Amino acid sequence: MPGKKVAYDPIRYVQLGQFRVAFEKTTLDDVLRGIGTGKIAHRGDASESNYWLCYTASQPHSYRLWINSSGEMGGPQHSVTDFAAEPMKADALKSDECPELPKQFQRASLNGKIWLTTSGREIERALGKPASIESDWRRFYFEKSFTRKSSTAGAAPEEWTVSSWLYTKSVNGKLALLAAGVITSN
């Protein structure tokens, strides 16, 4: 993403009740087993491949949630790389593709701090200033490169970069979309 970056990592997990979905650690199968309902969907091939779970919630606020494993970055185990959530009207929630989350998982948060009921001001109090604000969008973006000595004698050092992002869209001062993800690349 072009533009400035924030100096901290804005996200690491989504909390659904007591169930924590850690980016790049929790797999879609883990989510399915932990929640006990849903169906993993798929579209595309190779780098365009995407796997996801979709859920709806009606308590305490109505929303739709997608938990994704994007392309090759999620690996063969389909580790969670990103998610999106948006408020929905209660009558639009019913969907065979997006079953109702069991009640104990419907209270959700990102890093235990942010969800669709959080105001832009509260998000900035929790995370600091966004990397960019454009119209109704706030974008938080973090990137950090790491290097460590290889465990193999004479081999080049191991290098990788962690990128994480959080995008919010507001309509009339209320969050209309919350999307976040983490990708580690070498």
What are the tens digits of pLDDT across the range 83-107? 999 998 766 666 788 999 999 999 9
Going by C-alpha positions, the residue among 185, 184, 139, 181 that lies closest to residue 22 is 181
Determine, yes or no, domain membership for 4: no
Task: For residue 55, list its beta bridge partners.
Answer: 65
**163/22: higher pLDDT:** 22
Query: Tokens for 51?
Result: 């796997």
| Domains contained in the chain, number | 1
Is 70 exceeded by the pLDDT of residue 120? yes
Determine, yes or no, domain membership for 136: yes
Average pLDDT over residues 66-74: 87
Determine, yes or no, domain membership for 1: no
Determine, yes or no, domain membership for 23: yes
From residue 51, alpha-carbon distances to 2, 27, 38 in Å are 26, 11, 13
The residue with tokens 């580690």 is 184
Exposure pattern of 37-60 as b/e (b: 16+ CB <10 Å)? ebebeeeeeeeebbbbbbbbbeee
User: Most confidently modeled of 28-32, 88-92, 136-140, 170-174?
Assistant: 28-32
Maximal CA-CA distance, the chain: 63
The one-letter amino acid at 52: W
CA 43 vs. chain centroid, Å, equals 18
Q: Centre a 10 Å sphere on the Cβ of residue 102 and count the other Cβ atoms it contains.
A: 15
Q: Centre a 10 Å sphere on the Cβ of residue 161 and count the other Cβ atoms it contains.
A: 12
Task: Return the pLDDT at 3.
Answer: 47
Is 60 exceeded by the pLDDT of residue 76? yes
What does the mean pLDDT of the chain come to?
Answer: 85
Task: Return the pLDDT at 7.
Answer: 54
- Number of Cα atoms under 13 Å in the Cβ half of residue 130: 19
Task: Return the pLDDT at 2.
Answer: 43
| Region class of 160: left (phi > 0), else alpha (psi between -120 and 50), else beta | beta
Task: Return the pLDDT at 88.
Answer: 86
Determine, yes or no, domain membership for 52: yes
pLDDT in tens, 142-176: 877 778 777 777 778 778 788 888 899 988 877 88
Determine, yes or no, domain membership for 2: no
**90/58: higher pLDDT:** 58
User: Most confidently modeled of 58-62, 63-67, 92-96?
Assistant: 63-67
pTM, two decimals, is 0.85
Is 70 exceeded by the pLDDT of residue 134? yes
What backbone torsions phi and psi does residue 157 show, to the nearest 5 degrees?
A: -60, 150
Determine, yes or no, domain membership for 157: yes
Which domain range does residue 30 map to?
A: 13-185
Determine, yes or no, domain membership for 7: no
The residue with tokens 């070498």 is 186
